[in-house]
């Protein structure tokens, strides 16, 4: 009984450790998948802005059209590429699961100032110091887990540098190629995915624990029956004289009998081995038969 209890405890501990390891592994896979998805979204946003800047804004400016931040008040104006990016971010945002941001500590005058939270401040410092152009982290906000991915938005075009340095609404006049202009961030709520993992692991754990307990109970019930059957078999063997206690005497009697009785082959060889004169030759038998006297028939009585 004690051995079964210890075995059940060991199996339960192993089950718990396996579930903890599986939970960590699956959560990591979910976070990696969310980060990849967020980076793909940022790539699409950057590709769309680049296409608009080359095929729309630059051609419009060379054709005499205005490219403005506040373009909505003029029918012949187009939005700045950064304004276009802000509007794309609002379009790509899908509350409450996905949020897209495009922010900078030096926005153009007239644009709403963005107040950085801790994640965004750390991301800006990391990118501005040249440590890395990507920053991601799992953040818990109001009992929800958000996978936040930030990417650097740098000035990689001479036209952009010139515009930012000469525009009257720009807060900085000494921009250079490669300077960090802003950050594009995509945050994804993965709370539902993580909760699904926990529910699945809970179901697996309860099923496995039920199997372990069921096996232990079944073993406990079958144990006394097996012992009773083994005892009954031993008693029957002892009653028939075939128990373990009678085996030594039986072996001794068998050994004594084998010593007293010669082997069967030797016995028959000694008993029936012929001598030279026991069986006459076939020709001698014929000769003896030919020389035997034939008895005369009895005389016929006289009448």
pLDDT digits (tens, 9 = 90+) for 70-114: 888 888 889 988 899 999 999 988 888 999 999 999 999 888 888
Say which residue, 25 or 223, is predicted with more confidence.
25
- Alpha helices in 65-190, H assignment, sequence order: 81-92, 118-128, 158-166
Look at residue 136 and tell me whether its pLDDT is greater than 90. Answer: yes
CA distance 215 to 208: 11
Q: Which of 290, 297, 212 is nearest to 11 (CA)?
A: 212
Q: Considering only residues 290 and 89, tell me which one the structure prediction assigns the higher pLDDT.
A: 89
Residue written as token pair 């592994």: 25
pLDDT band at 302, cuts 50/70/90?
A: low
Q: Which residues, including other chains, have CB under 8 Å from residue 23's CB and lie 6 or more apart?
A: 197, 198, 201
- Residue keyed to tokens 């014929």: 286
What's the pLDDT score for residue 27?
92
- Whole-number Å distance between alpha carbons of 197 and 205: 12
Instruction: State the pLDDT confidence band at 272, using cuts at 50, 70 and 90.
Output: very low
How many other CB atoms sit within 10 Å of the CB of residue 208? 17
Q: Per-residue pLDDT tens for 103-135? A: 999 999 888 888 999 999 999 999 999 999 999
pLDDT at 279 (0 to 100):
46
Residue 199: what pLDDT?
Answer: 93
The pTM is what?
A: 0.67
Percent of the chain with pLDDT over 70: 73
Report helix angle 2-52 to 191-239, nearest 10.
160
**Phi/psi at 209 (5° precision):** -65, -40
Please determine, for residue 197, whether its predicted confidence score (pLDDT) is greater than 70: yes
* Highest mean pLDDT: which range of 53-67, 92-106, 238-252: 92-106
Rounded-to-integer distance, Cα 99 and Cα 62, Å: 35
pLDDT of residue 186: 96
CB atoms near residue 17 (< 10 Å): 10
pLDDT above 80: residue 198 = yes
- Residue 232's φ and ψ, nearest 5 degrees, are -65, -40
Distance CA 111, CA 49 (A): 19
Q: Which of 129, 127, 126, 111 is nearest to 171 (CA)?
A: 111
Q: What's the pLDDT band for 216 if we cut at 50, 70, 90? A: confident
Please tell me whether residue 279 adopts helix, strand or coil conformation.
Answer: coil
Averaged pLDDT for residues 156-184: 91
Q: Which tops the pLDDT comparison, 245 or 206?
A: 206
For residue 89, which of 182, 190, 177, 189 has the smallest C-alpha distance?
182
pLDDT higher than 50, residue 303 = no
Can you tell me the distance from the alpha carbon of 42 to that of 35, in angstroms, rounded to the nearest whole number? 11
Average pLDDT, the chain: 80
Report DSSP letters for 179-205, one per residue: -EEEEEEEEEE-HHHHHHHHHHHHHHH
Element (H or E) spanning 144, and its range?
strand 144-154
Q: Given this model, what pLDDT does residue 229 score? A: 53
Does the pLDDT of residue 166 top 60, yes or no? yes
């Amino acid at each position: 009984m004690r051995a079964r209890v210890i075995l059940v405890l060991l199996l339960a501990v192993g089950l718990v450790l396996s579930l903890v390891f599986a939970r960590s592994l699956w959560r990591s896979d979910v976070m990696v998948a969310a980060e990849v998805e967020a980076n793909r979204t940022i790539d699409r946003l950057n590709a769309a802005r680049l296409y608009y800047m080359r095929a729309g804004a630059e051609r419009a400016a060379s054709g005499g059209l205005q490219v403005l931040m506040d373009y909505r008040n003029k029918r012949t104006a187009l939005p700045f590429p950064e304004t276009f990016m802000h509007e794309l971010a609002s379009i790509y945002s899908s509350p409450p699961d996905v949020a897209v941001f495009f922010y900078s500590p030096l926005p153009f005058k007239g644009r709403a100032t963005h107040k950085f939270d801790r994640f965004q401040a750390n991301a800006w410092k990391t990118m501005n110091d040249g440590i890395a152009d990507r920053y991601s982290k799992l953040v818990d906000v109001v009992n929800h887990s958000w996978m936040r991915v930030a990417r650097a938005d740098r000035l990689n075009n001479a036209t952009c540098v010139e515009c930012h340095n000469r525009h009257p609404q720009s807060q900085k006049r000494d921009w250079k190629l490669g300077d960090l202009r802003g950050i594009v961030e995509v945050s994804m709520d993965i709370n539902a995915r993580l909760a699904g993992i926990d529910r699945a692991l809970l179901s697996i754990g309860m099923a496995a624990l039920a199997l372990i307990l069921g096996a232990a109970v079944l073993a406990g019930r079958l144990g006394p029956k097996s012992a009773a059957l083994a005892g009954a078999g031993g008693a029957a063997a002892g009653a028939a004289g075939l128990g373990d206690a009678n085996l030594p005497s039986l072996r001794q009697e068998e050994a004594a009998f084998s010593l007293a009785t010669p082997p069967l082959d030797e016995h028959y060889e000694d008993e029936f081995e012929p001598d030279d004169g026991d069986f006459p030759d076939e020709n001698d038998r014929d000769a003896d038969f030919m020389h035997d006297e034939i008895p005369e028939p009895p005389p016929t009585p006289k009448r």
